[in-house]
């Protein structure tokens, strides 16, 4: 599991009565685009479609990566089955680490699932491969950002481990994104921690990620965001004119899976059903794309996942973490979960030839830019409140300082309740204060606050809880 780092202070701080600096803020509009960070520009320039292709080819070469497939020494030596796949992923992480003076801590997070368990007919070891790029600032290293894909695959039959299950798109593509992010980001340093994970047991029911998310919750790890990549291959089915290679879908939950009945009541009362931490993360990613990845755009989808499907981000949502899913714009179901074959003139199978490596590289760029932005930025402000004691048309927000000491100022965002995103026009820089009063009615807008550092890195936005 990700190392049990010191729990970052913001949750704890949020509970304390921090004396409030009631500074009368100097308000200024923020309308120009934030400046680009040269380190982030360099990292995403380093993302290579050729490297992405090599990774996916290698993963496909293991023939069948079902979680139920072979993991014995002989099979690993032959390069067959899930055991060989995970050993190779570990060796890749270790290779990247060797090129950065051991900057990555590489671990196998292993546990056994025994029947009765859904789609697990016999006791099966499930192993997540985890690489951690520790944050360089002790005051911020406890804040963790995760990027993931699942390296297990399947064909038409859950228990078939003898026929090919190439899983080139589902989900060698997402695994390649996590690996490529590790490769390019490990050459740089960030104050907060980034964790790269290849999950197993996804196809049987999110076993690997569920275990990981539960362990993180138990260890009180401050996982501030999870970017899960599953089916990001771009689907190049010949003759398919409906794929949109400039778009990737970005799924995020609205009402958090982990919300208590009291929290749901509050969400309903305040109209905050479009403002979960996962939704703020999705909006953040859209902004990062505008800044750093030209010609490639996440299409935000306001639901946890597609119909009839799920993914590893949901395991993190279930434990109360902000987590989103990247998936290609249009999926071809003949090329997922299918034993390769030709039937009635139709080619079935999740084959290498249907993957668009340039597309996967764009998804990797967007993930890398997001991780680098978040891990460079201050922690979000804590304990964000909207004061609702009086009937008045001004709105006063208060918060505790961003823990970790990176913030040099704060911004208050607002949008009409019917708008789906923040905008630079509706953003006010309020200085290095912990309270701000805006001449704007809280009844008509949704507010949020974010922290900004001296170089312009911005934290995730936090919507306030009402305080009477």
**Sites of contact with Zn ion (CB under 5 A):** 170-171, 230
Nearer to Zn ion, 10 or 326 (CB): 326
The least distance separating Zn ion from the CB of residue 120, rounded to whole angstroms, comes to 17
Is 415 in contact with 426 (CB distance < 8 Å)? yes
Helix H segments across 46-102? 49-60, 73-78, 82-98
Task: Say how far apart CA 353 and CA 447 lie, in whole Å.
Answer: 47
Contact 364, 54 (CB under 8 A): no
Name the residue nearer to Zn ion (CB basis): 1 or 200: 200
Nearest approach in angstroms of CB 264 to Zn ion is: 29
Minimum CB distance to Zn ion, residue 38 (Å): 35
**Measured from the CB atom, is 190 or 207 closer to Zn ion?**
207
Q: Check if the beta carbon of residue 445 is closer than 8 Å to that of residue 386.
A: no
Q: How far apart are CA 128 and CA 117, in angstroms?
A: 18
The torsion of the CA quartet 173, 80, 204, 169, rounded to 10 degrees, works out to: 20
Q: Which is nearer to Zn ion, 168 or 406 (CB)?
A: 168
How far apart are alpha carbons 246 and 79 in whole angstroms? 35
Q: Which is nearer to Zn ion, 232 or 293 (CB)?
A: 232
3-state helix, strand, coil in the chain (%, to 5): 30, 25, 45
The Cα–Cα gap between 374 and 377 comes to 5
Q: Residue 3: what are its φ and ψ, rounded to 5°?
A: -60, 145
| CB closer to Zn ion out of 331 and 453 | 331
Q: Which is nearer to Zn ion, 69 or 402 (CB)?
A: 69
Q: How far is the CB of 228 from Zn ion (least distance, A)?
A: 9
**Among candidate residues 452, 450, 410, 377, the one with its CA nearest the CA of residue 39:** 377
Q: How many helices (H) and strands (E) does the chain have?
A: 12, 18
Cβ of residue 360: shortest distance to Zn ion, in angstroms? 14
Smallest distance from Zn ion to CB 275, Å: 28
Please report, for residues 17, 78, 116, 337, the alpha-carbon distance to residue 340 in angstroms, rounded to integers and kept in the order given. 61, 22, 30, 9
Residues with Cβ within 8 Å of 108's Cβ and at least 6 positions away in sequence, in order, are 86, 90, 127, 128, 129, 130
Least distance (Å) between residue 202 CB and Zn ion: 6
Residue 232 or residue 366: which is nearer to Zn ion going by CB?
232
Degrees, nearest 5: CA angle 322-18-141: 45
How far apart, in whole angstroms, are the C-alpha atoms of residue 361 and residue 297?
Answer: 13
**Shorter beta-carbon distance to Zn ion: residue 65 or 385:** 65
323 vs 438 by CB, closer to Zn ion: 323
Distance in Å, CB of 146 to Zn ion, minimum: 17
Strand partners, 427: 413
What's the closest the beta carbon of residue 6 comes to Zn ion, in angstroms?
33
Minimal distance, residue 421 CB to Zn ion, in Å: 28
């Amino acid at each position: 599991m990700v190392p049990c780092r010191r729990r970052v202070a913001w949750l704890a701080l949020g509970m304390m009565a921090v004396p409030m600096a009631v500074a009368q803020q100097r308000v200024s509009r923020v309308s120009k685009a934030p400046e680009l960070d040269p380190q982030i520009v360099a990292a995403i320039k380093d993302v290579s479609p050729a490297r992405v292709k090599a990774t996916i080819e290698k993963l496909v070469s293991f023939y069948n990566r079902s979680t139920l497939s072979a993991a014995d020494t002989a099979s690993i030596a032959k390069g067959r089955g899930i055991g060989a796949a995970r050993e190779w992923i570990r060796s890749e992480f270790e290779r990247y680490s060797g090129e950065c003076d051991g900057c990555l801590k590489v671990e196998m997070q292993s546990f056994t699932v025994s029947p009765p368990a859904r789609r697990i007919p016999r006791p099966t070891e499930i192993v997540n491969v985890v690489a951690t790029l520790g944050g360089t600032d002790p005051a911020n290293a406890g804040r963790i950002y995760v990027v993931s894909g699942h390296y297990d695959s399947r064909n038409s039959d859950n228990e078939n481990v003898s026929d090919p299950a190439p899983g080139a798109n589902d989900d060698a593509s997402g695994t390649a994104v996590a690996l490529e992010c590790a490769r390019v980001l490990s050459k740089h340093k960030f104050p907060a921690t980034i964790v790269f994970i290849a999950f197993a047991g996804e196809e049987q029911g999110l076993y690997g990620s569920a275990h990981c998310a539960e362990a993180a919750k138990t260890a009180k790890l401050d996982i501030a965001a999870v970017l899960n990549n599953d089916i990001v291959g771009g689907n190049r089915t010949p003759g398919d004119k409906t794929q949109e290679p400039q778009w990737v879908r970005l799924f995020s939950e609205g009402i958090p899976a982990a919300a208590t009945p009291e929290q749901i009541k509050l969400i309903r009362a305040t109209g905050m059903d479009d403002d979960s931490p996962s939704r703020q993360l999705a909006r953040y990613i859209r902004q990062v794309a505008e800044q750093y990845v030209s010609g490639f755009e996440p299409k935000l989808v306001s639901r946890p996942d597609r119909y009839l499907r799920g993914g590893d981000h949901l395991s993190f949502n279930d434990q109360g973490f902000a987590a989103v899913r990247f998936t290609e714009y249009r999926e071809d179901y003949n090329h997922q979960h299918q034993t390769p074959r030709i039937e009635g003139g139709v080619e079935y199978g999740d084959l290498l030839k249907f993957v668009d490596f340039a597309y996967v590289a764009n998804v990797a760029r967007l993930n890398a830019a997001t991780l680098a932005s978040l891990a460079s930025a201050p922690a979000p402000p804590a304990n964000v409140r909207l004061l609702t004691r009086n009937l008045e048309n001004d709105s006063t927000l208060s918060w505790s300082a961003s823990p970790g000491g990176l913030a040099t100022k704060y911004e208050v965002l607002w949008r009409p309740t019917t708008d789906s995103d923040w905008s630079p026009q509706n953003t006010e820089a309020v200085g290095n204060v912990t309270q701000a009063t805006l001449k704007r009615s809280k009844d008509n807008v949704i507010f949020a606050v974010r922290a900004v550092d001296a170089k312009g890195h911005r934290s995730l936005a936090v919507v306030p809880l009402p305080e009477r």
